[in-house]
Amino acid sequence: MADQPSLFDEPASGSSPSDDISSDVKQEVLELHAQLNQANYQYYVLDDPQLPDAEYDRLFHRLKGLETEFPEVLTSDSPTQRVGATALSHFEQVTHEVPMLSLDNAFNEQDMLDFNRRIVDRLKQSEIVEYACEPKLDGIAVSLLYENGRLIRAATRGDGSVGENITQNIRTIPSIPLKLLSSDVPPILEVRGEVYMPTTGFEAFNKKALANNEKPFVNPRNAAAGSLRQLDSKITAARPLEFCCYSLGRVEGATLPNRHSEILKQFSIWGFKINPEMQVVNGIEGCMDYYHQLAEKRGSLAYEIDGIVFKVDDIAIQQALGFTGRAPRWAIAHKFPAQEQITLLKDVEFQVGRTGAITPVARLEPVFVGGVTVSNATLHNMDEIARLDVRVGDTVVIRRAGDVIPQIVNVVTSKRPDHAKQIQFPQSCPVCDSHIERVEGEAVARCTGGLVCAAQRKEAIKHFASRKAMDIDGLGDKIVEQLVDEGLIESFLDLYSLKLADVANLERMAEKSAQNLLDSINVSKQTTLAKFLYALGIREVGVATAQNLVNHFLDLKVLVKADFDALIEVDDVGPIVAQHILNFFSEPHNQKIIDGLLNIGISWPKIEKVAADELPLNGRTFVVTGTLASMGRDEAKQYLQSLGAKVAGSVSAKTNGVVAGEKAGSKLTKAQDLGIDVMDEAAFLALLNGHGIQHA
Ligand code: IVH
Q: 639-650, pLDDT tens digit by residue? A: 888 888 888 888
Judge if 548 and 575 occupy the same domain.
Answer: yes
Beta pairing, strands 677-679 & 105-106: unpaired
DSSP states of 334-359 as a string? EEPPPSEEEEEEEEEEEEE-TT-EEE
Q: pLDDT band for 16, please (50, 70, 90 cuts).
A: very low
Enclosing domain of residue 60: 7-73
**Count of the separate structural domains present in the chain:** 5
Q: Is the CB of 221 under 6 A from ligand 1?
A: no
CATH number of the CATH domain containing 69: 1.10.287.610
Residue 136 a catalytic site member: yes
Q: pLDDT band for 401, please (50, 70, 90 cuts).
A: low
Statement: residue 402 has pLDDT above 70:
no
Judge if 671 and 564 occupy the same domain.
Answer: no
Each residue's pLDDT tens digit, 534-583: 999 999 898 888 988 998 899 999 999 999 999 999 977 889 899 999 99
CA 291/CA 298 separation, integer angstroms: 10
Statement: residue 668 has pLDDT above 80:
yes
Tell me which of 384 and 154 has the higher pLDDT: 154
> Cα(329) to centroid of ligand 1, in Å?
14
> Between the CA atoms of 681, 686, 691 and 694, what dihedral angle is there, to the nearest 10 degrees?
80
> Cα(396) to centroid of ligand 1, in Å?
29
Statement: residue 345 has pLDDT above 80:
yes
Q: Is the CB of 303 under 6 A from ligand 1?
A: no
Q: Is the CB of 247 under 6 A from ligand 1?
A: yes
Q: Which of 668, 665, 556 is nearest to 604 (CA)?
A: 556
The answer to whether residue 269 sits within a structural domain is yes
> Cα(195) to centroid of ligand 1, in Å?
11
Statement: residue 497 has pLDDT above 70:
yes
> Cα(678) to centroid of ligand 1, in Å?
34
Q: Ligand 1 atom closest to Cα of 136?
A: 12
The radius of gyration computed from the CA coordinates of the chain, to the nearest angstrom, equals: 30
CATH number of the CATH domain containing 633: 3.40.50.10190
CA 472/CA 303 separation, integer angstroms: 38
Q: Is the CB of 141 under 6 A from ligand 1?
A: yes
Q: Is the CB of 119 under 6 A from ligand 1?
A: no
> Cα(644) to centroid of ligand 1, in Å?
44
Judge if 381 and 494 occupy the same domain.
Answer: no
The answer to whether residue 422 sits within a structural domain is no
CA 438/CA 297 separation, integer angstroms: 41
Judge if 409 and 271 occupy the same domain.
Answer: no
Contacts of 26 (CB under 8 A, 6+ apart): 16, 17, 73
Nearest Cα residue to atom 2 of ligand 1: 101
The answer to whether residue 85 sits within a structural domain is no
Report the pLDDT value the prediction gives residue 164, as an integer from 0 to 100: 95
| End residue of a domain, out of 584, 605, 626 | 605
Catalytic residue among 26, 64, 124, 136: 136
The answer to whether residue 434 sits within a structural domain is no
The answer to whether residue 495 sits within a structural domain is yes
Nearest Cα residue to atom 21 of ligand 1: 141
> Cα(107) to centroid of ligand 1, in Å?
16
Judge if 129 and 148 occupy the same domain.
Answer: yes
Statement: residue 3 has pLDDT above 70:
no
Report the pLDDT value the prediction gives residue 404, as an integer from 0 to 100: 67
Query: What Cα–Cα distance (Å) separates residue 580 from each residue in 531, 556, 566?
Result: 18, 16, 14
Tell me which of 501 and 612 has the higher pLDDT: 501
Statement: residue 205 has pLDDT above 80:
yes
Statement: residue 9 has pLDDT above 80:
no
CATH number of the CATH domain containing 348: 2.40.50.140
CATH number of the CATH domain containing 594: 1.10.150.20
Max CA distance (Å), the chain: 97
Burial class (CB in 10 A: 0-12, 13-18, 19+), 546: buried
Q: Which of 38-47, 151-160, 170-179 has the lowest mean pLDDT?
A: 38-47
CA 669/CA 114 separation, integer angstroms: 34
Report the pLDDT value the prediction gives residue 212, as an integer from 0 to 100: 79
Judge if 365 and 472 occupy the same domain.
Answer: no
> Cα(313) to centroid of ligand 1, in Å?
15
CA 8/CA 568 separation, integer angstroms: 47
Q: Is the CB of 246 under 6 A from ligand 1?
A: yes
Statement: residue 657 has pLDDT above 80:
yes
Q: Calculate what percentage of the chain has a pLDDT beyond 90.
A: 66
Report the pLDDT value the prediction gives residue 8, as an integer from 0 to 100: 32
CA 292/CA 154 separation, integer angstroms: 34
> Which of 96, 142, 144, 194 to probe ligand 1 with, by most ligand atoms within 8 A of CB?
194
Q: Ligand 1 atom closest to Cα of 141?
A: 13
Statement: residue 17 has pLDDT above 60:
no
Position 370, amino acid: G
Q: Ligand 1 atom closest to Cα of 139?
A: 13
DSSP states of 513-543 as a string? HHHHHHHHHHHTTB--HHHHHHHTT-TT--H
Mean pLDDT of 148-162: 94
- Measured at the CA of 586, the angle between CA 581 and CA 591, to 5 degrees, comes to 100
Judge if 498 and 588 occupy the same domain.
Answer: yes
> Which of 137, 140, 197, 260 to probe ligand 1 with, by most ligand atoms within 8 A of CB?
137
Mean pLDDT across the chain, nearest whole number? Answer: 90
Nearest Cα residue to atom 13 of ligand 1: 141
Q: Ligand 1 atom closest to Cα of 101?
A: 2
CB atoms within 10 A of CB 97: 12
Q: Ligand 1 atom closest to Cα of 157?
A: 10
Mean pLDDT of 42-60: 85
> Cα(139) to centroid of ligand 1, in Å?
9
Report the pLDDT value the prediction gives residue 443, as an integer from 0 to 100: 80
Q: Calculate what percentage of the chain has a pLDDT beyond 70.
A: 96
The answer to whether residue 181 sits within a structural domain is yes
Report the pLDDT value the prediction gives residue 630, as an integer from 0 to 100: 84
Q: Is the CB of 447 under 6 A from ligand 1?
A: no
Judge if 529 and 486 occupy the same domain.
Answer: yes
Q: pLDDT band for 182, please (50, 70, 90 cuts).
A: confident
Judge if 326 and 360 occupy the same domain.
Answer: no
Statement: residue 426 has pLDDT above 90:
yes
SS3 333: strand
Position 250, amino acid: R
CATH number of the CATH domain containing 244: 3.30.470.30
Q: Where are the alpha helices (DSSP H) in 630-677?
A: 633-642, 666-674
Tell me which of 545 and 267 has the higher pLDDT: 267
Q: Which of 16-25, 153-162, 409-418, 451-460 has the lowest mean pLDDT?
A: 16-25
CA 414/CA 396 separation, integer angstroms: 11
| End residue of a domain, out of 305, 335, 365 | 335
CB atoms within 10 A of CB 397: 17
Judge if 258 and 383 occupy the same domain.
Answer: no
Judge if 511 and 386 occupy the same domain.
Answer: no
Cβ atoms of 446 and 355 within 8 Å: the answer is yes
Q: Is the CB of 134 under 6 A from ligand 1?
A: yes
Q: Which of 2, 68, 8, 60 is nearest to 32 (CA)?
A: 60
Q: Which of 440, 385, 391, 434 is nearest to 407 (CA)?
A: 385
The answer to whether residue 590 sits within a structural domain is yes
The answer to whether residue 388 sits within a structural domain is yes
Statement: residue 484 has pLDDT above 60:
yes
Contacts of 238 (CB under 8 A, 6+ apart): none
314 backbone dihedrals φ, ψ, rounded to 5°: -80, 120
Statement: residue 349 has pLDDT above 80:
yes
Report the pLDDT value the prediction gives residue 403, as an integer from 0 to 100: 58
Q: Is the CB of 281 under 6 A from ligand 1?
A: no
Tell me which of 212 and 253 has the higher pLDDT: 253
Judge if 239 and 170 occupy the same domain.
Answer: yes
Each residue's pLDDT tens digit, 519-543: 999 999 999 999 999 999 999 898 8
> Cα(298) to centroid of ligand 1, in Å?
17
| End residue of a domain, out of 315, 335, 355 | 335
Nearest Cα residue to atom 18 of ligand 1: 136
